[in-house]
Chains A and B, each alone.
Chain A
Amino acid sequence: MEWMYLVPALPFLGALLLILFSGKTGKAGVIAIGCGSIGIAALITIIAGWQFLQSDIPAYDQHLWEWLRVGDFSIGMNLRLDALSLAFTFVITFVGCLIHIYSTGYMADDPDFARFFACMNLFVGSMLMLVLADNLLLMYLGWEGVGLCSYLLIGFWYKDPENGAAARKAFIVTRVGDTAMAIALFLLVQHTGSLQLSVVLERVQTLWNTGDPTVVWIAFLLLGGAVGKSAQLPLQTWLPDAMAGPTPVSALIHAATMVTAGVYLIARTNIIFSLAPAAQAAVAITGAVTLLLAGCSAWVQTDIKRVLAYSTISQIGYMFLALGVGAWSAAVFHFVTHAFFKALLFLGAGAVIHALHHEQDMFKMGGLRKSLPGVFLVFLIGSLSLAAIPFISSGWYSKDQIIWLAGVTERGSSWYAWAAVLGAFITAAYTTRMMLLVFFGREQTHVHHKPGPEMMIPLYILAICSTLAGFLELPHTLGHFAWLSEFLAPVLPAPAVLHADVAAEWGLQAITAGLAALAIYLSWRLINAPFPKEAGAFLRSGWGFDAAYDVLFVQPFVRVARLNRKDIVDKIYTGLAAITRTFHRMMSSTQSGILRWYVLGVVMGAVLILSVIIWRHSL
Chain B
Amino acid sequence: MISPTTAGLILAGILFTLGLISMLIRRNIIFMLVSVEIMLNAAGLAFIVAASKWGQPEGQVMFMFILAMAAAEVSVGLALILQLYHQLKTLDSDEASRMRG
Q: Does A591 contact B (CB under 8 A)?
A: yes
Q: Does A582 contact B (CB under 8 A)?
A: no
User: Could you say which of A82-90, A272-280, A470-478, A594-602 contacts chain B?
Assistant: A594-602
Give the residues in chain B near A54, CB-CB below 8 Å: none
Give the residues in chain B near A599, CB-CB below 8 Å: 23-24
Q: Does B100 contact A (CB under 8 A)?
A: yes
In the complex, A589 Cα to B96 Cα: how many Å? 17
Give the residues in chain A near B100, CB-CB below 8 Å: 591-594
B-facing mask of A203-238, CB < 8 A → 1, else 0? 000000000000000000000000000000000000
Give the residues in chain A near B23, CB-CB below 8 Å: 596, 599
B-facing mask of A20-52, CB < 8 A → 1, else 0? 000000000000000000000000000000000
Tell me if A595 and B99 are in contact (CB < 8 A).
no
Q: Does B75 contact A (CB under 8 A)?
A: no
A interface, over-half SS: helix
In the complex, A599 Cα to B20 Cα: how many Å? 9
Give the residues in chain B near A589, CB-CB below 8 Å: 101
A589 to chain B, nearest CB (A): 7
Q: Does A55 contact B (CB under 8 A)?
A: no
Give the residues in chain A near B3, CB-CB below 8 Å: none
Q: Does A198 contact B (CB under 8 A)?
A: no
Would A591 and B101 be within 8 Å (CB), given that A599-B24, A603-B20 are in contact?
A: yes
Other than A594-B97, A596-B23, give 9 A-B pairs with Cβ distance below 8 A. Answer: A587-B101, A593-B98, A593-B100, A594-B93, A594-B94, A596-B24, A596-B25, A596-B94, A599-B23
Q: Does A590 contact B (CB under 8 A)?
A: yes
Picked from B25, B27, B97, B101, the residue with its CB within 8 Å of the CB of A590 is B101
Q: Does B49 contact A (CB under 8 A)?
A: no
18 contacts between A and B (CB under 8 A): A587-B101, A591-B99, A591-B100, A592-B101, A593-B96, A593-B97, A593-B100, A594-B93, A594-B94, A595-B29, A595-B32, A595-B94, A596-B23, A596-B24, A599-B23, A600-B24, A603-B20, A603-B24
In the complex, A588 Cα to B100 Cα: how many Å? 8
Q: How large is the interface on A (under 10, 10 to 19, 20 to 34, 35 or more residues)?
A: 10 to 19
Give the residues in chain B near A593, CB-CB below 8 Å: 96-101
Give the residues in chain A near B101, CB-CB below 8 Å: 587-593
Smallest CB gap from B36: residue in A: A599
Tell me if B24 and A595 are in contact (CB < 8 A).
no
In the complex, A588 Cα to B24 Cα: how many Å? 22
In the complex, A600 Cα to B20 Cα: how many Å? 9
Tell me if B93 and A592 are in contact (CB < 8 A).
no
Interface residues of A (CB under 8 A from B): 587-596, 599-600, 603
Tell me if B96 and A595 are in contact (CB < 8 A).
yes
Give the residues in chain A near B97, CB-CB below 8 Å: 592-594
Smallest CB gap from B26: residue in A: A596
Q: How large is the interface on B (under 10, 10 to 19, 20 to 34, 35 or more residues)?
A: 10 to 19
In the complex, A591 Cα to B100 Cα: how many Å? 5
Would A595 and B20 be within 8 Å (CB), given that A589-B101, A590-B101 are in contact?
A: no
Q: From A589, A590, A594, A600, name the one whose CB has the most chain B CB atoms within 10 angstroms.
A: A594
Give the residues in chain B near A600, CB-CB below 8 Å: 24
Picked from A587, A590, A596, A603, the residue with its CB within 8 Å of the CB of B93 is A596
B46 to chain A, nearest CB (A): 14
In the complex, A590 Cα to B99 Cα: how many Å? 11
Smallest CB gap from A596: residue in B: B24
A189 to chain B, nearest CB (A): 63
A264 to chain B, nearest CB (A): 69
Smallest CB gap from B25: residue in A: A596
A585 to chain B, nearest CB (A): 9
Give the residues in chain A near B20, CB-CB below 8 Å: 603
In the complex, A396 Cα to B93 Cα: how many Å? 101
In the complex, A591 Cα to B97 Cα: how many Å? 9
In the complex, A291 Cα to B28 Cα: how many Å? 97
In the complex, A599 Cα to B99 Cα: how many Å? 16
A-facing mask of B57-101, CB < 8 A → 1, else 0? 000000000000000000000000000000000000110111111
In the complex, A209 Cα to B28 Cα: how many Å? 103
Give the residues in chain B near A596, CB-CB below 8 Å: 23-25, 27, 93-94
Listed from nearest, the 8 A-B pairs whose CB atoms lie closest are A593-B97, A591-B101, A593-B100, A588-B101, A595-B93, A592-B100, A593-B99, A594-B97
Give the residues in chain A near B27, CB-CB below 8 Å: 596
In the complex, A290 Cα to B40 Cα: how many Å? 98
In the complex, A49 Cα to B97 Cα: how many Å? 88
Give the residues in chain B near A594, CB-CB below 8 Å: 93-94, 97, 100
In the complex, A589 Cα to B101 Cα: how many Å? 6
Smallest CB gap from B100: residue in A: A593
In the complex, A590 Cα to B101 Cα: how many Å? 7
Give the residues in chain A near B93, CB-CB below 8 Å: 594-596
Smallest CB gap from A591: residue in B: B101
Give the residues in chain B near A591, CB-CB below 8 Å: 99-101
Smallest CB gap from A603: residue in B: B20
Give the residues in chain A near B98, CB-CB below 8 Å: 593
In the complex, A600 Cα to B100 Cα: how many Å? 16
B19 to chain A, nearest CB (A): 11
Give the residues in chain B near A592, CB-CB below 8 Å: 97, 100-101
B24 to chain A, nearest CB (A): 6
In the complex, A591 Cα to B98 Cα: how many Å? 10
